[in-house]
Structure 1
Amino acid sequence: MIPSPQHSPSPVAEPASAFVDSATATALGPWPGTDPVEAAKVSVGIFPGPNLPFLPQLPARGVGSDSIGRTAVLLPELPVDVQPYGWRFVDRAGLDFRRAESALSTDINVLADVVGAGELSPAAFKVHVAGPFSLAASIHLHYGERAVRDYGARRDIGQSLAAGLQVHALKVQSAVPGTALTLQIDEPHIAAVLAGSIPTASGYRTLRAIPRSELRQTWSDLVAAAREAGFSQIAINLAPAEQALAAKAPAERSPSDAADGASAIEATMWRQALEIALEAGIDAVAVPLNRLDGGHWEMLAGALESGVGVWAGTVPVSAGQAPPSYAALVERIMRPWRKLGLAESGLNQLRITEESSLAVLTPQEARAVLGRSLDVAQALGDIRNA
């Protein structure tokens, strides 16, 4: 059992059930470049209320600024370091841990400076963390196997992350006083975890799938802990990893056959993860539109009608290419929306984001994508309020 941090507990945040009069926009978190000052200025500047500014993550800075290392430093009593095969739990914190801790602290301090210098007071602000199962799939135990293999390790990661959110919320709240905090929980590897397609250390076998009941309980517990930590809104982001943890194909099967089979199973598991996420007490779910079929849209329609928000990953991210017109992107949403008979009055439950990580773009290209997200949100608001 991971002990709670020693400080006065934050008041339990009540989920905000009301939506504003229009669709809104935010970004998922990763940002190009290495300048935290510029990134913070873009975030708080381009997303005025009721849109949602965010704490940028700058993976180009290297070790410790990736999503796993950035979240791992929030885990009390579970220090990590970097090995040739990735992050690993260790007995005591070393240079890699301190580097990740320093990068996160710098980002929060820079945010405070930018908000203070501009005399800004965002009504809401978002932070994102890697979810417990993607952490377990990405961090290795001392003997080299991924932590997702071990139930005790998975349990400890979930409990430690819940405790770490208490401290993280207090630090961000001190940087942006009076803001309502939103937490985005990223689970890019959840389909592979449920499908049992995460490779072993040797790469020639796969690790056993986790039970869906464990996923449901862990997510529900984490959402409850996040509310106790002071987060007023919680979203689970199911955008898949851009670099999957793919297992090597067994010798008796061709690589293409193995890949096709794993892909089909993971697609089924992704659908189940979406269903479980919608039952975990969240306020919103983030999904990329390019992954949705008619069945997914029907699930989301039910969630929307029950008051859950949808963060729609709408704007493609393509280096060297301008984003599509806002009219074409609005049609990506309105076509299935109208086909399902959803009321246009419900369009304010949408928050528009990019499809995938902005870190692969230049800062100028990334700003163009964010601008297009705002255009789409505005257009949906016009449709709703016409």
Structure 2
Amino acid sequence: MTHPDVLAPAKLGPLTLRNRIIKSATFEGKTPNALVTDELIEFHRRPAAGGVGMSTVAYCAVAPEGRTERGQLWMRPEALPGLRRLTDAIHAEGAAASAQLGHAGPVANEKSTGLPALAPSRSFNPLSMRMIRSASKDDIERITEAHGTAAQLAVDSGFDAVEIHFGHNYFASSFLSPKLNKRKDSFGGSLENRARVVLDTARAVRAAVGDKIAILAKLNMDDGVPGGFWIDEAIQVAQWLEADGSVDALELTMGSSLLNPMYLFKGDAPVREFAAAMPQPVRLGVQLVGKQMLHAYPYRDLFMLEQARQIRAAVTLPLVLLGGVTDRAGMDIAMAEGFEFVAMARALLREPDLVNRIAEDARTKSLCIHCNKCMPTIFSGARCVLVERAG
């Protein structure tokens, strides 16, 4: 074998994982009071027992207005006892635990949170049907510092790693986007200015936790939107992050939760199911114009590999390949292409024990059919609709 064994232990910053397979962040929809529940713990215990090297808890907002909706978990002292129970459960199964930290920015639903959504520039949020306020310099500084505070809370909660969310046009990602960022100050215009929030946030997290835990960042390669952030600029941002030494690895992603959410997922666009999950009058809106917002893209295994290769060629920083990783053959391709880790999401919703089954038989194929009907279930508890809900 000329490439690393994906099932062998591997170093990630100060952390050693039992293998190179990460359960990627998938919003669970299991924190109705913005606190850990038994259902959330079980959601992560199952893939941990199923063989992943690390499970990523999503999404841990760094401030109350940084949630996408009211019930979402946000990092504060009251959340620590539940988070400790969660990390203990993951550790008991032999896996590491990572907390995805971020601020939803323009993706936040102000109508649900009761707090103002924030963006680089004043704009309209089609999700909440409200205008989004332009973040002030004080807002930017506060949110940057909040990432460091949240990272320290993650350490106190027993997490082995944090993943900073720089994707999907959430707060930091929206600053990277020329389409969303029309500022004329030091946070807008040139890529150097637009990347300031990303770089400062990563530095704040590193300053807060040092080498106590591993630090990953989820970075967009392509917003999937004309005029948005794209691979040429993503390469430069990845190089800046590497030069800073602020992160131990990058997980590469794509798409805009605000403007083109299906670009991340590929496969069927579940418009009817999304409409059914929404209250009126949003439901009617999704029924009428959902096909214009939820585009279907053909699915193929390793669908992010082509773009990710370009990042791989530009940095030596460890990289996590996400997108259509479903079997041992795909994992081996990722290893041979120079990626240090792979991440899985939908396949583990379908079969939390998939990694153990692949370890037993390398010919094992995922049962996920990429129907994406799991996506609307985040409003009622994320799950594969082809599997009966436990209990």
Asked if the contact 2:21/2:344 (under 8 Å) is kept, the reply is no
Q: SS of the counterpart of 2:56?
A: coil
Q: Deviations over 1:112-162 (max 9, x none)?
A: 23555898497843111225xx6267588x9x9953127993543332123
Residue 212 of structure 1 and its aligned partner are, at CA, apart by 0.9
Q: Report the CA distance shift for 1:180/1:296 in structure 2 as closer, same or farther (over 3 A).
A: closer
Asked if the contact 2:216/2:251 (under 8 Å) is kept, the reply is yes
Alignment of 1:50-65 (within 5 A): 51-57=53-59
Q: Deviations over 1:141-188 (max 9, x none)?
A: x9x995312799354333212322343234333332xx5332332421
> Which of residues 182, 191, 200 is equivalent to 2:162?
182
> Which of residues 27, 35, 39 is equivalent to 2:24?
27
Does 2:44 match 1:43? yes
> Which of residues 279, 287, 290 is equivalent to 2:303?
290
Q: Amino acid of the residue matched to residue 38 of structure 1?
A: E
Could you tell me how far apart the structure 2 residues matched to 1:193 and 1:104 are?
A: 25
> What residue is the counterpart of 1:113 in the other structure?
85
Q: Report the CA distance shift for 1:229/1:109 in structure 2 as closer, same or farther (over 3 A).
A: same
For structure 1, list consecutive stretches of 5 or more residues without a partner in the other structure: 1-14, 58-66, 74-79, 88-95, 200-205, 245-261, 317-323, 359-364, 381-386
What count of residue pairs does the alignment treat as equivalent?
A: 274
Could you tell me how far apart the structure 1 residues matched to 2:157 and 2:240 are?
A: 32
Could you tell me how far apart the structure 2 residues matched to 1:160 and 1:309 are?
A: 29
Does 2:191 match 1:212? yes
Does 2:342 match 1:351? yes
Q: Amino acid of the residue matched to residue 164 of structure 1?
A: A
Could you tell me how far apart the structure 1 residues matched to 2:218 and 2:137 are?
A: 21
Comparing 106-115 with 217-226, greater Cα deviation is found at 106-115
> Which of residues 217, 220, 228 is equivalent to 2:207?
228
Q: SS of the counterpart of 2:198?
A: helix
Could you tell me how far apart the structure 2 residues matched to 1:22 and 1:81 are?
A: 32
For structure 2, list consecutive stretches of 5 or more residues without a partner in the other structure: 1-11, 123-132, 254-301, 363-391
> What residue is the counterpart of 2:319 in the other structure?
310
Residue 285 of structure 1 and its aligned partner are, at CA, apart by 1.4
Give percent identity, aligned residues only.
11
Q: SS of the counterpart of 2:312?
A: helix
Does 2:289 match 1:299? no
Residue 25 of structure 1 and its aligned partner are, at CA, apart by 1.7
Per the normalisation by structure 2, the TM-score is 0.53
Q: Amino acid of the residue matched to residue 42 of structure 1?
A: F
Higher helix fraction (1 or 2): 1
Q: Amino acid of the residue matched to residue 206 of structure 2?
A: R
Residue 309 of structure 1 and its aligned partner are, at CA, apart by 1.7
Per the normalisation by structure 1, the TM-score is 0.53
Larger radius of gyration: 1
Task: Report 1 or 2 for greater relative contact order, CA contacts < 8 Å, sequence distance ≥ 6.
Answer: 1
Q: Report the CA distance shift for 1:41/1:269 in structure 2 as closer, same or farther (over 3 A).
A: same
Q: SS of the counterpart of 2:55?
A: coil
Could you tell me how far apart the structure 2 residues matched to 1:123 and 1:106 are?
A: 25
Residue 218 of structure 1 and its aligned partner are, at CA, apart by 2.7
> Which of residues 194, 218, 233 is equivalent to 1:237?
218
> What residue is the counterpart of 2:102 in the other structure?
130
Could you tell me how far apart the structure 2 residues matched to 1:155 and 1:103 are?
A: 22
Q: Deviations over 1:185-244 (max 9, x none)?
A: 242117765453239xxxxxx878643112333322211210122163222213589xx8
Q: Amino acid of the residue matched to residue 213 of structure 1?
A: E
Q: SS of the counterpart of 1:329?
A: helix
Could you tell me how far apart the structure 1 residues matched to 2:196 and 2:360 are?
A: 37
